[in-house]
Amino acid sequence: MIRLNDVSFQYASGLGGVSEINLTVHEGECLVLTGPSGGGKTTLTRLLNGLAPSYNAGKLTGTIFLNGKSLAQTPQFALARQVGSIFQDPKSQFFSSDLAGEVAFACENYGLPGEEIQKRTNHAISAFSLDDLRFQNLDVLSSGEKQKVAIASVYALRPNIYVCDEPTSNLDREGSRQLALILKKLKAEGCTLVIAEHRLSWLRGIADRFVYIRDGKILWERSAAEMEHLSAGQRKADGLREIIESRNMNVSFSMNHGDKRPILCVTKLSCKRKKTDVFCDISFSAYAGQVTAITGHNGVGKTSLALVLSGLWKEKSGQILINGVKMRPGERRKQIWYGSNDTGTQFFTNSVTEELLLHLERSEERLERTRSLLKRLDLYRYKDAHPASLSGGQKQRLSIACGILSERKILIFDEPTSGLDGGNMGIVADVLQEEAHMGKAILVITHDEELIRCCCDCLIKIDEYGNRA
């Protein structure tokens, strides 16, 4: 059992933290921390796994008890054996380039006997259906596969408590479903789960209690049953994502475009990298004025398709026409914007404003448009901030703003809402629709079905055999 008695934590930098937290997590319970980005969910998970204040320095008041013992008296390495941590971005957390080495890492640190490590590692690999990846380099896995490896590496140590910080932000529907099954299994084994998460629907049947945190404080707690009866109005007021997954997309994807000519026409497009076919024979059209969703399993080649379309990679075969004209990669780069899902390497200047206006003429009209877009995306107060100092969700919105201001006619965004709460997801959906209505063709690579329902007019599903609209 975990108990937090009047706990407050302020980061040494003075930014963020939580205050007056009183919370009890019972053994075998699944507690979900939810609320807007920057509200204090991650800080609370760090307090539970001991990273704050032992790694993230700051001032802690109040007491945290784990099974009756104060965390302040427990060394970090002893705590890490009881509390397993699963983070948001797995790709920069690996210590090994091979699967078994990575999954075994924690067990090795605790000096478990070699045979025991092999037993636990092999069991974790099988439990997560990772056997096929045994001889692959971890660097080439898709983000969903990397997240599975990261979870398996914690699972091998067999902690009693799992603290997860947005574990599904890089997973598709199938990945989330698999994760849900694993968490259900862990819960059935008696493990305690604490999950900080925006996406709530996949937790149905696992979560026992939801805690809403905003501005560092717990504002309310609700049971799973109470959450299911939350009205759409209440949900929207708190900026929450869907709690029950809709059974169908509930949107009519119109395939009738009248006599409109497509702005982007792709025919039998294939891509090959390092002697491996990434995708084959993809054909579709995108129209100005529409938001088109591109979806499919993790690792099926959606990001590669976007890179080829935007001229950043070369195609193996097939044809890409823009306004009826076949274009080479160099020409496509001037027509199509690609907003990557990795925002860490996308920004080059010292301020948000500079970033938006990089290499653009600073006319009064453009400056005004920049200002209004920043306000629309709730970034105006950060206009002079360094892009690196922004949170993950703010970087995602800045990346979208850069794409819109690039004035290219076709914009591709790769998972633009993976780390966004319900409120910000809604804002992004509205902005994408507005830009489409202004005559742009927008393609969104996403697993986020809520986003698809909110703003997409067309859906292209990619599988191993090509695409189906």
Partner 1 sequence: MQRENLAVPVKLWALGCTIIGISLTDDTILTCVLVMAGFLYLAVQRNWRLLQSFGVFYGILAVLLYLIRNHGLHMVLFSEFYVLMFWNLFAVFLVGWDLITTPPGELSAFMSRIHMPTSAILGLLVMFRFFPTMKAELKNVWCSMRNRGLTAPAQFFLHPAESCEYVLVPLLLRCLQIADQLSVSAVARGAEAPGRRSSYYEKSMTLKDWCCFILWSAVTVLFLWKGGMRI
Q: Does 107 bind partner 1 (CB under 8 A)?
A: yes
Interaction with partner 1 in 356-385: which residues (CB under 8 A)? Answer: 358-359
Q: How many residues bind partner 1 (CB under 8 A)?
A: 62
Residues 313-342 that bind partner 1 (CB under 8 A): 333-334, 337-338, 340, 342
- Tokens coding 396: 């995602």
Residue 373 has, within 13 A of its CA and on its CB side, a CA count of 24
Residue 108 as a binder of partner 1 (CB under 8 A): the answer is yes
Q: Is 439 in the site for partner 1 (CB under 8 A)?
A: no
Enter the tokens of residue 179.
Answer: 């994760």
| Candidate segments 98-106, 172-180, 315-323, 417-425, binder of partner 1 by CB under 8 A | 98-106
Sheet-wide strand order for 325-326: 276-286, 264-273, 317-322, 325-326
CB of 144 to partner 1, least distance (A): 17
Count other C-beta atoms under 10 Å from residue 129's C-beta.
12
Q: Please select the residue that binds partner 1; options are 47, 64, 157, 405, rule is CB under 8 A.
A: 157
Tokens of 191: 């493990």
Q: What are 100's two structure tokens?
A: 């078994």
Member of 33, 41, 87, 445 binding partner 1 (CB under 8 A)? 87
**Binding of partner 1 at residue 466 (CB under 8 A)?**
no
Q: How far apart are CA 392 and CA 18, in angstroms?
A: 19
Q: Residue from 14, 68, 73, 111 that binds partner 1 (CB under 8 A)?
A: 111
The answer to whether 422 and 241 have CB atoms below 8 angstroms apart is: yes
Cα–Cα distances (Å) from 19 to 61, 206, 266, 412, in that order, read: 9, 28, 53, 40
Q: Which is nearer to partner 1, 120 or 199 (CB)?
A: 120
Check if the beta carbon of residue 161 is closer than 8 Å to that of residue 83: yes
Q: Per-residue x/- mask for partner 1, residues 383 to 422, rule CB under 8 A?
A: -----x-------------x---x----------------
Q: Does 109 bind partner 1 (CB under 8 A)?
A: yes
Q: Indicate the DSSP class of residue 36.
A: S
The stretch near partner 1 (CB under 8 A) out of 151-159, 231-239, 441-449, 458-466 is 151-159
Whether the CB-CB separation of 86 and 165 falls below 8 Å is answered with yes
Secondary structure letter of residue 141 according to DSSP:
S
Looking at residues 50 to 69 of the shown chain, list those that interact with partner 1 (rule: CB under 8 A): 51, 54-55
CB 431 within 8 A of CB 291: no
* Interacting residues toward partner 1 by CB under 8 A: 49, 51, 54-55, 75-77, 80-81, 84-85, 87, 89, 92-98, 100-101, 104-114, 117-118, 121, 135, 137, 139, 153-154, 157, 307, 310, 312, 333-334, 337-338, 340, 342, 344-349, 358-359, 388, 402, 406
